[in-house]
Structure 1
Amino acid sequence: MLGTFALLPASAAFAQDDCSDINSSLQVVPCSEDAKKAADFQLNTSYHQLMARLESQYRADPRLGAEYSATVKESQRAWIKLRDTNCAVEAFEIEAGKPAYVGMVNNCISSMSQERSAYLDKIAPDVVSGTNASCPSQDFAQFLPAFSANAESQKRLTALAVKILVLKRTSDPGRFLPEITAEPGASLTFPLMAAIQGKTETVEVETVDDTHMNVVDKRAGNSNIKIFNFAKKSCWALVGIEDWSLSEKELVEPARSGMSRTENLCYQRAEGLGGLGFLEQYRLTAELIEASLENYVCAAESGDPEASLSAARLSLSQMAPQLETSKVEALFKAASTTASGALGYATYFCNGNSTDYSGPCLHPEQAEKQAIRAVSMGSTDAMDYLGSTFESGELGTKDLPRALACYQMSADKNTPQGIAGVKRLVSQDPDLKASRCL
């Protein structure tokens, strides 16, 4: 059966907990990649925090500050080259490309990056207005409630220079990427976070290492996640804020007809956050994809076929929470006014609201009807799908002349699948003649 839904990428199949006890060679590469990404992210954070500290500390002498920053940049470039060369040497005796080679290089990069992060954190050390005497606690679990209690405590325990990450629109329409800048701590608008008292499922505290902690705040929903970075010096201090929301100023004016302004903004957020999530480069991969689904569902309230199809497909991708059956069917029905939507509706009639159904088509007549509609709207995928079902009898009717006709329609549009289908059927029976597809 033609698969029209996105499959779960292999790298996403390994949860972080799966790497706490590696006992299979299949875990080596994805776990080492996760470790390398985490270390690279922390290295990038430490580097930008250092640049922020230099900008803040040398405001009185910008020329000297610029010289210091340029020296750090040159040093970092040289160090990255040294790291990569060293790790290639470490894995030299293993055949390049083998899992053991990839794992060793990744783990080497991870280890060296962690050491480099610690080194960068010690350059031009920052201070906060608080002193040891006014430090709420060296224990982060006790520090966090005291820090978040009010605007004054947050301001007092925020570093002089803070790394700020926000999502910015790129020149590629609908695509957004993180942009990192440095801001003086005193220029921020306090309070930065709502008070945190006790344990809550929507606030996650992550230990990066002995001197770095992250607080992932999801209280405003998956579309408005903020991550607060803390570093420990004489006391814990806020040194970075990551805003993983898409502000309205980064979105274009509503352009999709038939949608309200809110639905238009939801569609743009769905595209942008989903695009970031499917890169699988950020620790919020799951949350970004879930936010994409939530926003597609919002946009689909308009009945827009593209938003409806995207929501239905994402629900069945195994990368986002699965919507209830009635909702998925309604989305496919709304999407079926387009060729791709009609084909999606056809496969829904066969598979139902299942991500791994492998039995016979549940509703073959309805599936064939929708596939024919998709073909009539010019979908070559639907032509190949119908050809496949008539060739196999999957929808209850095995009809090789009709299968050949469908494949030929697709082949006439130079599709590889159609050409291969025609070649296969003719090689099996040179006397076979095409009848009709529709």
Structure 2
Amino acid sequence: MNGVLKNKASFAVAALVSIYLSFSYTSASATEESENICPSKNFPLFFLEFSAKADTQKRFSLDTVKVMTLKQKGDTEQVEPFIADVNSSELKFPVALPVDSFTDKNIQVVRIDKATIRVIDKRAGNSGIKTYAFKLNSCWVLSSLESWAISPENFKPPRKNDMSESESFLFQRAMAFSWLGWAQKYELTAELFQASMDNFLLAASNGNPEASLAAAGLSYSGMAPKLEDEKLESLYKAAARTLPAGAEGLSYVYCYGNDLAGNGPCKNPIQAEQAIISSAKLGSAEGANTVGEYFEAGKLVTNDISRAIACYQLAAERGNSDAVKNLERLKQSETRMPRASYCY
């Protein structure tokens, strides 16, 4: 090859290399730029794209994200929010699952101010709510996330002896949610009480008396949605097998169902009286005194002062101060104190 041709060939190769490098640089820059393009400043459109891809979530998260988790409060059966500043590189993406549409009632978007929006995701149920806060800079970015789940890793109370391992965890998780709800300082208070009810019902699904009583009591408290009459009765029946308070609650349900005010006459006095007598049979001092009051006044079926006195005496022996007062009242009001017969 002569010198002229050699120089021309060298020039051609250099030109091709230059063009290739220029193209590669331009392509890389274009790719990098496209990756940083804001999906949309219209938040619903942005969040649909954000939730769909883990890579998008990584790119549109602040370098440091505030992360809230629920952790056990010391050695107690309570939990409390624990907030940490976490480098986004340490987050496990995806932090949010894909959202197809905002018509899903379990996805709520709350505008805090012009530059802050909060998304509440209830798709995992009340025991697994997650929230995401976004700030608007040049685009929307994830600034904080909250997990309102109580996980076995962060909550390890001692197992309750009268429950299986799963029942015990569900029951104690329900109690922990209730404590959070009763604090009345969280935006999700209603959901926390519902989570408590959900867990009590799961713990009671095999008829555990204590869990059944707790679920029924939470229904009556008004803090969680009321259970249907049939469900309430079945819970109290389960509790009444071993717990005096369960029998007392069952007696009330037979009379008034879900009406906490107890308006009107007792609907099922025979069953109600049998249930309240059961509470006394299970060893309740208060139950024995209540039976005595019912027998004395004839509130349900039986109207028998001699049986009432026997019940008061039994309750007094068990340490009930009201029963002692009732006996003293009868001594003062009765010219001739009837002889006690039997309570049950």
Tell me the residue number matched to 2:283.
Answer: 378
Of 228, 231, 234, 1:324 maps to 228
Task: Tell whether 2:273 aligns with 1:368.
Answer: yes
Give how far 1:188 is off.
0.3
Aligned CA RMSD, in angstroms, stands at 3.0
Would the aligned equivalents of 1:251 and 1:268 in 2 still touch at CA under 8 Å?
no
Higher relative contact order (CA 8 A, sep 6+): 1
Structure 2 residue identity aligned to 1:305 = P
2:227 is equivalent to residue 334 of structure 1: no
Give the conservation status (yes or no) of the 8 Å contact 2:159–2:169.
Answer: no
**Cα separation, 2, equivalents of 1:327 and 1:177:** 31
How far the C-alpha of 1:422 sits from its partner, in A, is: 4.7
Do the aligned residues in 2 keep the contact of 1:318 with 1:355 (CA within 8 Å)?
A: no
How far off is 1:166 after superposition?
A: 0.9
1:267 aligns with 2:174: no
Q: How many Å separate the matches in 2 of 1:334 and 1:230?
A: 47
SS of 2:207's equivalent in the other structure is coil
Does structure 2 conserve the Cα–Cα contact (< 8 Å) formed by 1:259 and 1:302? no
Matches of 1:378 and 1:213, distance apart in 2: 56
Q: Secondary structure at the match of 1:371?
A: helix
Distance 1:424 1:349 in 2: 30
Query: Structure 1's 410 and 194: CA in aligned 2 closer, same or farther, altered over 3 A?
Result: same
Matched residue, 1:43: none
Which stretch shifts more, 306-315 or 221-230?
306-315
- Residues 364, 172 of structure 1: CA spacing in aligned structure 2 closer, same or farther, 3 A cutoff? farther
Whether 1:161 and 2:64 are equivalent positions in the alignment is yes
1:212 and 1:232 in contact (8 A); partners too: yes
Match of residue 89 from structure 2: 186
- Amino acid in the other structure paired with 1:361: C
Answer yes or no: is the 8 Å Cα contact 2:64–2:143 preserved in 1.
yes
Unmatched 5+ residue regions in structure 1? 1-128
After superposition, residues 286-435 of structure 1 pair within 5 angstroms as 286-336=190-240, 337-400=242-305, 402-412=307-317, 415=320, 417-418=322-323, 421-422=326-327, 425=330, 428-429=333-334, 432=337, 435=340
Query: CA separation of 1:139/1:437 partners in 2, compared to 1, >3 Å: closer, same or farther?
Result: same
Tell me which moved more, 201-210 or 383-392.
Answer: 383-392
1:137 aligns with 2:59: no
Aligned residue type for 2:125: G
| Pairing partner for 2:156 from 252, 261, 283 | 252
Q: Which of 121, 127, 147 matches 1:217?
A: 121
Percent sequence identity over matched residues?
38
The 1:412/1:289 distance shift into structure 2, 3 A limit, reads: same
1:380-436 Cα shifts (integer Å, max 9, x gaps):
331342244234432133445544554454455554544554565556557555735
Aligned mates of 1:277, 1:154 — CA distance in 2: 31
Residue type of the partner of 1:202? N
Match for 2:139: what amino acid? Answer: C
Q: Distance in 2 between matches of 1:302 and 1:258?
A: 13
Task: Please give the TM-score of this superposition, normalised by the length of structure 2.
Answer: 0.78
1:282: which partner in 2? 186
> Does the CA contact (< 8 Å) of 1:360 and 1:394 recur in 2?
no
* Structure 2 equivalent of residue 195 of structure 1: 98
Whether the 8 Å contact between 1:401 and 1:432 is mirrored in structure 2 is no
| Separation in 2, partners of 1:272, 1:219 | 21
| 2:22 counterpart residue number | none
Name the SS of the counterpart of 1:134 in structure 2: coil
2:118 counterpart SS class: strand
* Structure 1 residues 130 and 266: alpha-carbon distance in aligned structure 2, compared to 1, 3 A threshold: farther
- Which residue identity is paired with 1:197? D
Post-superposition CA distance 1:88-117 (Å, at most 9, x none): xxxxxxxxxxxxxxxxxxxxxxxxxxxxxx
2:133 is the alignment partner of 1:229: yes
Is the Cα–Cα contact under 8 Å of residues 62 and 141 in structure 2 kept in the other structure?
yes
Q: Residue 195 and residue 312 in structure 1: after superposition, are their counterparts in 2 closer, same or farther (change >3 A)? A: same
Conserved in 2, the CA contact under 8 Å of 1:254 and 1:261?
Answer: no
Query: What is the aligned residue count?
Result: 310
Whether the 8 Å CA contact 1:140–1:236 is kept in 2: the answer is yes
Task: Give the partner amino acid of 1:209.
Answer: D
Q: CA deviation at 1:190?
A: 0.9
Q: In structure 2, how many angstroms separate the alpha carbons of the residues matched to 1:150 and 1:242?
A: 19
Residues 311-332 of structure 1, C-alpha deviations (whole Å, 9 max, x = no match): 2222333322333333322222
- Paired amino acid for 2:57: Q
Partner of 1:57: none
Residue 149 in 1 paired to residue 61 in 2?
no
Preserved contact between residue 71 and residue 155 of structure 2 (Cα < 8 Å): no
Cα deviation for residue 367 of structure 1 reads 1.6
Determine the C-alpha separation between the residues in 2 that align with 1:130 and 1:368: 78
One-letter code aligned to 2:116: H
After TM superposition, the structure 1 stretch with the greater mean CA deviation from structure 2, 422-431 or 214-223, is: 422-431
AA of the residue aligned to 1:182: D
